Amino acid sequence: MLEPLVNDAVDFVRQGAIIATALVLQQATVAQEPRVEKFRKDLDDIVNKKHEDPLVRLGVLIAIGILDAGGRNANTTLLSQFGYPKMMACAGMTVFTQLWYWFPLVHFFSLTLSPSALIGVNKDLRIPKSFQFQSNAKPSMFDYPPHIKPDDKKKQVKTETVQLSITQKAKARALKKQAEKEGAEEAPKEEKMDVEENKEKEEQKKKDEPPFKICDNHSRVLPKQQEYIVFLDDNRYTPVLKVKRIFFA
């Protein structure tokens, strides 16, 4: 529903669709949702456009902030750890939705953020370093998404030179044909080799990736990752309570 609205003709609609999409894709990785990569690239393209509408640009900046909230260590939630509504978070989200009226209301969005982490504490509320747990999922499923790298290659602008005589045109054509004959055999081979090497490296990484990950106390754990968390039997500390969205040790 949101994808066609991102390219709508009305700027207010585009702004709202971009912000809503960021809320849906918050803390989602490419392994979980392939559309995350395309959405991030689209945001980067809109920001770099010189003549983009200010409303859409503001929506993109807010969306980037939502995707990278808390250094990608915070998640938007209106419920407490036991499933009860958080009044501060609900009030913050309500005020945030009125940003069209006064743009400083955007800052109320921070009230809706909660840290995405699993922290085991003992009876003295200290964090024991010896406590570990296991995530029965591939690390790439819940790892930090890579940042978009800017293109280092500068676009070369072709300039046409004025030819004053037919002989100069003929010389240019001859040089071009000679260059094509010399480089036609070498250039494609080098490009194919680079593409094949990159594919082999990616395939090798996927094969070598372990099916689980041992996490230290404390570690980043996303809400969708909680169902894959398993506590180790050889730990000195064992969980006292096992409740959805919260773990105590």
Q: Place 249 in a pLDDT band, splitting at 50, 70 and 90.
A: very low
**pLDDT, tens digit (0-9, with 9 covering 90-100), for 154-210:** 455 455 555 556 777 777 788 877 777 766 555 455 555 655 666 666 666 666 778
What percent of the chain stands above pLDDT 90?
A: 10
**In angstroms, rounded to a whole number, what is the distance separating the alpha carbons of residues 145 and 29?**
6
Residue 244 pLDDT > 70, yes or no?
no
Distance CA 200, CA 162 (A): 47
Site of tokens 């969306």: 63
> For the chain, which residues make up each domain, given as ranges?
2-116, 132-137+212-247, 166-208
The residue ranking higher by pLDDT, 122 or 207, is 122
118 strand-pairing partners: 219
CA distance 131 to 233: 11
Residues 6+ positions from 103 with CB-CB distance below 8 Å: 58
Task: Please give the full DSSP string across 25-56, using - where no structure is assigned.
Answer: TTT--TTT-THHHHHHHHHHHHHH-TT--HHH
Q: Which residue has the higher pLDDT, 127 or 177?
A: 127
Between 234 and 147, residue with greater pLDDT: 234
- Percent of the chain at pLDDT > 70 equals 78
Query: Tens digits of per-residue pLDDT, 66-80?
Result: 988 888 888 898 888
Centroid of chain to Cα 188? 33
231 pLDDT tier (thresholds 50, 70, 90): confident
Cα gap 63→21, rounded to integer Å: 8
Residue 100 has pLDDT above 70, yes or no: yes
Q: Which of 116, 103, 69 is nearest to 225 (CA)?
A: 116
Higher pLDDT, 242 or 60: 60
With both helix axes pointing from N to C terminus, report the angle between 166-183 and 186-208 in degrees, rounded to the nearest 10: 40
Residues 164-168: contacts with CB within 8 Å, 24+ apart? none
Tell me which DSSP letter residue 164 carries.
-
pLDDT > 80? residue 38 = yes
